[in-house]
Structure 1
């Protein structure tokens, strides 16, 4: 019972929560600007260039990641092991006749065989599509951007969330400030949920014990 409880506690992970500080957005520092009173509506220090690039390129900018993930894996294994042994010892001839013990001829015959066959197969496929906007957390020396973001959606009695972290090249960002998820390096994409519906899909701690390495059979 103690082992079962330990296995159950070991498989219990901390539930994700909204507003996790790790996924908190980064706000760029607002530089102090000196406003000169010229009587004109146009202020050169606060204006954005007419032909400036609107793609994310600095800390605090927002970039939209187009999720287009699809994975498929299949595996099969077949094992067929056969083994046989056959040993025969004819009656021993000595002294003009067969050697006997209490009238029984001394001979030996042994034969055994083993046949083991195992088959296993696994097939899994997953797909994820949608959009998520992430925050630029850091600009590396080579111009690559470290992005991180999350999205929470409350549906009935549960919460659905998507979390994403990774590295993107500024060259891969489209003019509309979007990028394909397949172009995000070291991507960590997490899609899950919490609440009544999510808990109903989880395996109980006793079942986890029977499927874990602690179960000796």
Structure 2
């Protein structure tokens, strides 16, 4: 008896743990970059030490190497709508009358065959979605591609009483689209992945329970 109770409690705890289905990050997992340290300055008394790394006097601060920072300005406004309508109509009729009949079956010739049928189908559907996302996020250059484009990724975590909010972004940036303020519009980023999710009990309250999802999948209606 005790074993059955323990098994039932274990099943309940396991089911409660599966209430939130884990999902992989849309923007990808964080990637850490190992930037080699510059060599030690030479003890020659010179102020100019090119081996220790330098930036030319008239060069701007746009990112050019792995580890550089870039600010992404979100200005996403997506609107989509779709409407469809279909209808079909079909009718058919068939009549058969025998002029002659075999001997002994003359009465059957008096009964003809008359068949008719019709079918009609009509359906319609529509969908509409509107999304707006604005703000800024500073990302890190992960890789400089052979064509000088930059592969970037970044995230921001905001902890509040009800949980943690995650803002993640990744994509490919053309250096020519970067402004003098070291920023780029999200609409000018190729293969952009924008993710805004959260955890905590408020997010769990907006998720369908595991039993409801199970019944939804097996329900015949």
Coarse TM-score class (shorter-chain normalised): 0.7 to 0.9
* Structure 1: gaps spanning 5 or more residues: 1-8
Instruction: Report the more deviating stretch, 201-210 or 185-194.
Output: 201-210
Secondary structure, in 3 states, of the residue corresponding to 1:23?
A: coil
Quick one: which of 157, 166, 173 aligns to 1:161? 166
Aligned-partner Cα distance in 2 for 1:208–1:69: 32
Question: Residue 116 of structure 1: which of 91, 103, 121 is its match?
Answer: 121
Measure the CA separation in 1 of the matches of 2:142 and 2:200.
30
Residue 100 of structure 1 aligns to a residue whose secondary structure is helix
* 2:208 match: 203
Shift of 1:48: 4.3
Following superposition of structure 1 onto structure 2, how do residues 55-94 of structure 1 map, counting pairs within 5 Å? Answer: 55-90=62-97, 92=99
The residue correspondences of 1:1-217 to structure 2 (distance < 5 A) are 12-14=21-23, 22-26=29-33, 28-36=35-43, 38=45, 43-45=47-49, 48-90=55-97, 92=99, 99-101=106-108, 105-209=110-214, 212=217, 216-217=220-221
CA contact (8 A) 2:81 2:126 kept: yes
* Unaligned segments of structure 2, at least 5 residues: 1-17
Whole-Å separation in 2 of the counterparts to 1:63 and 1:159: 24
- The secondary structure found in structure 1 opposite 2:135 is strand
More strand as a share of residues:
1
May I ask how many residue pairs the two structures share in their alignment?
A: 200
**Structure-1 separation of matches of 2:208 and 2:64:** 44
Please tell me the root mean square deviation across aligned C-alpha atoms, in Å: 3.2
Q: For 1:45-84, what per-residue CA distance to the aligned partner results, in whole angstroms no more than 9, with x for missing partners?
A: 2664432211111111110011111211111221212111
Change (3 A) 1:71 1:208: farther
**TM-score, structure 1 as length reference:** 0.78
* TM-score normalised by length of structure 2: 0.77
Structure with higher helix content: 2
